[in-house]
Structure 1
Amino acid sequence: MFSIDANSIDKSLPVPVGTQLYGLLSYALSFGGIAHGTRLQSVRQLAAELGIAPMTVAQVYQRLRDAGLVEMKHGLGAFAVSDMKKHGVDNLPVSSLRADIEVLIGKAEKLGISTLTLNSMINAQSLLRRPKAGLKIVFVAIFEGPGRDYVAQLKPVLATNDQVQLVTLDSLRVTEELRRISTEADIVLTFLHREAEVQALIPEARVLGLRFIPSVRTRQALAGLDPRTRIAAVTYFEEYIAIMRPSVREFAPHVSDIRVTWLSSPDLGEVIAQCDAVIFASGADHVADLVQPGVPCFEYRHAPDPGALEGVLVPHLADLRRSKIAGNETGPESDIPERGVAEG
């Protein structure tokens, strides 16, 4: 993950330095750059390093706290919110299986059964055990197109009778019916850095923020760029403009000429015309219409972090199923109506 230093803030951009810093830190906290539980630099230390006012840094830390990304400890400073503490992973039933798994692996080794074969046996057996309770899941995305892809990437860890409804954050803000559906769902999934915002819209719902990382396809496309390429990096949200250059450079360190802008910037067309390749953040796909034929143009797409799926989502779903099964023991399970994709 890219580092945040004096070169991270571009004071020549028509975007406030506080906005840039918030985008940088919220991105790093949400997409894996800062380990959870890590103590952030003090306000004065970070302000001095970046060459900005301490009050600006303090305001950014407050925004991060309000977004649920950091916790402030009196006299100690700001700390990245711990997934383990936040979601109680250590207390989930899956943690108690670790010793049993170790015993099973040891027994398989004594019988001459490889770990690969053991995995295949477990997978085959699990396919024969249809879950007794399907879950109603809502996924809150920022943009509908990428959201459909994210839901598809979540499907492998879901049960066949789980039902997922996709809604956009904008539609959730303005549609009471979607807020009702989300509140009644067994769980609402969204991005880690949007969890507090979604929870505020549906305070009675069970909301779980998931960590996302740059997709394999994105990393490969960036690594394959010619070192001489002049890149135009375009974001949809103005507040995330400062993350574009370090995000691209993380996987294309051999490319030095990276120019950043955002979708509604007045110089967008000029920047694109001066570059040999265009990389755009999710939501800014209309940029492709401005690119000349033959010029490489692709999305900087993210994907669910496999570690978050296995260590956070799967245990939560298992816990929900067990609770739902226990609640249905006194009566027949009701049918769950099929729902379509809500449009923003």
Structure 2
Amino acid sequence: MFTLDANCIDKSLPVPVGTQLHGLLSYMLAFGGYSYGDRLPSIRQLAADIGVAPMTVAQVYRQLRDDGLIETHQGQGAFVIVPAASADVTPSNVSLLRDDIDRLLVRASELGVSTMSLISMLNAQSMMRDARRRLNVVFVCIFEEAGRDYVRQIQPCMEAGEEITLVTFDQISQPGPELDACRAAHLVLTFVHREADARRLIGSDKVLGLRFIPSQQTRQNLASLEPQTPVLGVTHLKDYIAIMRPTIREFAPHLAEINVTWSSAENLAEEIDRSGAVIFATGADRIAALVAPGVACFEFRHAPDPSFLRSVLVPRLAQLRQGDIRVA
């Protein structure tokens, strides 16, 4: 992941530096720039590193805290929020069940039910419970085409008979079947930096934000560009324009010239004509039609972080299948 420095903030852009910084930090938090529990730079240190006022950094940190991405501790600083760990069966957890088991055995004896019969009943009840627990999972995306690709990559984490329903933030922003589906789901998945938005819209805490990384195809496409190729990065949202240059350079440090703009800029066509390669963020797909034949043009697509899926999502799904539907 790129390093935050003065080169990440472009004061020539018609986008406030605070907006640029928020986009940079939320991207790094959602796409692997920081690990859970990491301490962020102090307000004064980050302000000095990137050349902005400390008040601007403080405002961005407050916004990230409200977004549910970081937590702040008086006198200690700001830290990346750690997701609730999956519940492990530990000796202390088992010991908590012993009194319940003793009471159940006493009650069975009072009713004339043998220990073996009780065990058979427990096995049968457990099998019925497992049969009922086929998870209903919803993924809330921003753009449907990319969302379908993400769901395809997450699907292997599910068991046979379990599927993931795809909805968009626009669809759940108002009452309708998509919002109802989220509220009825065992678990709602989305992006880390949109987790707080999903919780607010759904009115539930059963939301898990997934971390994403640049896809393998994206990394290969960037590495294949010729060093002297003038590259144009195009984002769909102004808020995230500042991430285009450092994320492209991260995987293509050999490039000599990288310019950035957004898909609704008035001079977009002229910028494209001056470029030897065009890289667009997810959601800015329409600009591909403006690129001349023979000019390299591809999407900067992300993919669910496989390590996050293994270490966080899979244990969470297993926990839910066992009947513990609490999602912290």
TM interval, shorter chain, is 0.7 to 0.9
Q: Does 1:69 align with 2:65?
A: no
- 1:26-65 equivalence runs, <5 A: 26-65=26-65
Shift of 1:177: 3.0
Task: Give the equivalent residue in structure 1 for 2:202.
Answer: 202
Q: Does 1:180 align with 2:180?
A: yes
Shift of 1:93: 4.7
Further displaced range: 41-50 or 244-253:
41-50
- Rounded to whole Å, the distance in 2 between the matches of 1:202 and 1:248 is 34
**In the TM superposition, what whole-angstrom CA distance separates every residue of 1:11-61 from its partner, at most 9, and x where no partner exists?**
001110000000111111111011221111111221122221111111100
SS state at 1:139 partner: strand
TM-score by length of 1: 0.80
- Rounded to whole Å, the distance in 1 between the matches of 2:213 and 2:288 is 23
CA contact (8 A) 1:187 1:205 kept: no
CA contact (8 A) 1:230 1:276 kept: yes
1:218 aligned partner, one-letter code: T
Task: Give the equivalent residue in structure 1 for 2:124.
Answer: none
1:92 aligned partner, one-letter code: D
**In the TM superposition, what whole-angstrom CA distance separates every residue of 1:287-330 from its partner, at most 9, and x where no partner exists?**
101100111100000001011110000001101111079xxxxx
Aligned-residue Cα RMSD (Å) equals: 1.8
CA contact (8 A) 2:171 2:179 kept: no
2:88 to 92, 99, 118: 92
Structure label with greater radius of gyration: 2
Task: Give the equivalent residue in structure 2 for 1:330.
Answer: none
SS state at 2:173 partner: helix
TM-score by length of 2: 0.84
- Rounded to whole Å, the distance in 1 between the matches of 2:66 and 2:179 is 21
CA contact (8 A) 2:172 2:178 kept: yes
- Rounded to whole Å, the distance in 1 between the matches of 2:324 and 2:192 is 25
**In the TM superposition, what whole-angstrom CA distance separates every residue of 1:84-125 from its partner, at most 9, and x where no partner exists?**
xx2223x3359x9xxxxxxxxxxxxxxxxxxxxxxxxxxxxx
Q: Does 1:153 align with 2:159?
A: no
**In the TM superposition, what whole-angstrom CA distance separates every residue of 1:169-193 from its partner, at most 9, and x where no partner exists?**
1111123332222011010000111
CA contact (8 A) 1:234 1:281 kept: yes
2:298 aligned partner, one-letter code: F
- Rounded to whole Å, the distance in 2 between the matches of 1:275 and 1:73 is 46
Shift of 1:156: 1.1
SS state at 2:62 partner: helix
Task: Give the equivalent residue in structure 2 for 1:244.
Answer: 244
2:152 aligned partner, one-letter code: A
- Rounded to whole Å, the distance in 1 between the matches of 2:233 and 2:258 is 7
2:88 aligned partner, one-letter code: L
**In the TM superposition, what whole-angstrom CA distance separates every residue of 1:155-212 from its partner, at most 9, and x where no partner exists?**
1111121122100011111233322220110100001111111001112251001101
Task: Give the equivalent residue in structure 2 for 1:274.
Answer: 274
Q: Does 1:22 align with 2:19?
A: no
Q: Once superposed, which parts of structure 1, at least 4 consecutive aligned residues long, lie more than 3 Å away?
A: 91-94
Further displaced range: 310-319 or 42-51:
42-51
SS state at 1:272 partner: helix
SS state at 2:299 partner: strand
Shift of 1:77: 1.3
- Rounded to whole Å, the distance in 2 between the matches of 1:205 and 1:72 is 21
2:78 aligned partner, one-letter code: A
SS state at 2:279 partner: strand
**In the TM superposition, what whole-angstrom CA distance separates every residue of 1:58-82 from its partner, at most 9, and x where no partner exists?**
1100111011111010111111112
Task: Give the equivalent residue in structure 1 for 2:323.
Answer: 323
CA contact (8 A) 2:155 2:163 kept: no
- Rounded to whole Å, the distance in 2 between the matches of 1:324 and 1:62 is 33
Q: Does 1:219 align with 2:219?
A: yes
CA contact (8 A) 1:184 1:205 kept: no
SS state at 1:87 partner: coil
Gapped regions of structure 1 (runs ≥ 5): 97-130, 326-344
- Rounded to whole Å, the distance in 2 between the matches of 1:31 and 1:268 is 27
Identity %: 56
- Rounded to whole Å, the distance in 2 between the matches of 1:321 and 1:148 is 24
